[in-house]
Amino acid sequence: MNNRIFGIETEFGCLTPGDRSLGPPEVIAARVRNHVFKNQRLGVLDMHYRNWGEPPGNGGFLYNGGRLYIDMGHLEYATAECRSLFELIAHDKAVEWMIIGALKRLGIKEEASFFKNNIDHFTGATFGCHENYLVRRNVPFYEVVIPKLLPFFVTRQIFAGTGRVGCYEERLWEFDDDYEDNGPRLVDFQISQRADHIVTEIYEWIQFSRAIINTRDEPLADYNRYRRLHLLVGDTNMSEYAAALKVGTTCLVLDLIEKKRPLKNLGLFDHVYAIKHISRDQSLKWIVELESGRTISAIDLQREYLKPAQKYLKNRDSETDWVLTQWEQVLDALESDHLSLTDKIDWVAKKWLLQTFMEAERLTWDDPWLESLDLEYHNIDQQKSLYYELERKGAMQRVTTDSQIRKAIKSSPKNTRAKARTYIMQELFRRKMPYIVDWDLIHSNFGEPFNMKDPFETYDDEVASFLKRLNKAYSRPTRFKKSKRSRRY
């Protein structure tokens, strides 16, 4: 999947002792951030205001190419720009190791916990997992990209959902005594954590309306060539396999759209209702209504994307073939025996785990114990997490190795602009020079700003020239290793 840039943003929940002896969660989040930058020295903190909510020191860029920061009190991590699917998963997992390492060194690992999930059972709050995909600007976004993608995103949850106990009801009260709630019925367990919190198909501002697709036009790249597809709809996966399949299938659908391959008109009658209905459908048949009035299962709708992907994209590269093979196998298994996916798909694994526990303890779905277990599935501490207990026993399939994750903690991808950003950051910090670092631009008091408008470019020659000029002006010369030039998007 070398021809697309993608990344994942993760918002972490934090649980602290009830007596608040360690302070509120936002204090723990800040201590972890500070330890990552100031003690572990895995990146550089911002020296400037990024906006009104991000003062100096609120966050910064990491040497692995990603970004760690505080957003409205919670810790958030954005991976580096990646071009390899499995490298992305390693970078997504790397931050878990950073956080746990910080908690351990701070001496609060047993008392404080961080969670990679999307809901708070107690307050009803939701935490996001935002996916980012670089797309061509010459493909009409509102007329082509969005209509083709919405049905895919609504139904993708059948293999990308992480599942949850119960549901969240955001009722819209009216002054009409005859008002009735005609929404989906309350359920004991559903397959997606984010579905209940989606209120519209598209919207520009995240803070005011949680949409399937965020339409804010902020490419963080050459505006004339690229646009950034920013998604709010996905669950935060613990399963490496499910995360890879989620991102991989999305990339293939985008490839079909940009290459103008024929795709059927699969627009749904009501995308927002359908996403909640699929998540809560206890029959697991997931039948939805199309704009035409015809009905189709979510599995068959996904196959309408899979078939052209197999026809036009097969044998392109090893990662593409992996996605195509797994996509087909998962859809078939969901149709015939979803329990065969217990080692791959989060919601299947979690539901099986909870039902096994319920049978052993003779519990019902309304027992608060189950909400606690639901949360512990997402604990990123491998000694506490129910997910990692399954992984430790070999009950979950992986697509990375520990050595790849360990490498992703300190090393940026070598085939995107993250490489250039990291080298220059390290040099400016090492020489104690002031800097302003952003995804596509670096300012310093040495020469002109360093522009990185093409995320596919490693800027080897430009970095070498910059460092050469820097070495002439200052002592302690630096050696820069060039990469092989790779084909641009």
**Checking DSSP bridges between strand 189-190 and strand 59-62, what pairing results, if any?**
unpaired
pLDDT tens string 25-73:
999 999 999 999 999 999 999 999 988 778 999 999 999 999 999 998 9
Range of lowest pLDDT (84-98, 215-229, 368-382, 438-452): 438-452
Backbone angles phi, psi at 61, to 5 degrees: -90, 140
Range of lowest pLDDT (144-148, 171-175, 307-311): 171-175
One-letter amino acid for residue 385 of the chain: S
Higher-confidence position of 119 and 271: 271
Alpha-carbon gap, residue 172 to 123, rounded angstroms: 18
Higher-confidence position of 178 and 323: 323
Residue among 36, 43, 32, 33 at smallest CA distance from 429? 43
pLDDT tens string 332-381:
999 999 999 999 999 999 999 999 999 999 999 999 999 999 999 999 99
Beta strands in 277-327 (DSSP E): 287-289, 295-297
Backbone angles phi, psi at 81, to 5 degrees: -65, 120
Residues recognised as catalytic: 71
Higher-confidence position of 309 and 480: 309
Residues in the chain: 489
- Is it the case that residue 408 has pLDDT exceeding 70? yes
Read off the pLDDT band of 386 (50, 70, 90).
very high
- Is it the case that residue 483 has pLDDT exceeding 80? no
- What confidence score (pLDDT) does residue 488 get? 46
Range of lowest pLDDT (126-135, 264-273, 369-378): 126-135
- What confidence score (pLDDT) does residue 248 get? 98
pLDDT tens string 159-192:
999 999 999 876 533 333 443 444 444 899 999 9
CA atoms within 13 A on the CB side of 295: 6
Read off the pLDDT band of 480 (50, 70, 90).
low
- What confidence score (pLDDT) does residue 51 get? 81
Residue among 401, 418, 399 at smallest CA distance from 456? 418
Neighbours of 15 (CB within 10 A): 16
Q: Residue 321 in contact with residue 333, Cβ under 8 Å?
A: no
- Is it the case that residue 81 has pLDDT exceeding 80? yes
Read off the pLDDT band of 97 (50, 70, 90).
very high
**b/e burial code for range 64-100 (CB count within 10 A of at least 16 → b):** bbbbbbbeeebbbbbbbbbbbbbbbbbbbbbbbbbbb
- Is it the case that residue 415 has pLDDT exceeding 60? yes
Burial class (CB in 10 A: 0-12, 13-18, 19+), 289: middle
Read off the pLDDT band of 123 (50, 70, 90).
confident
Average pLDDT on 21-25 reads: 91
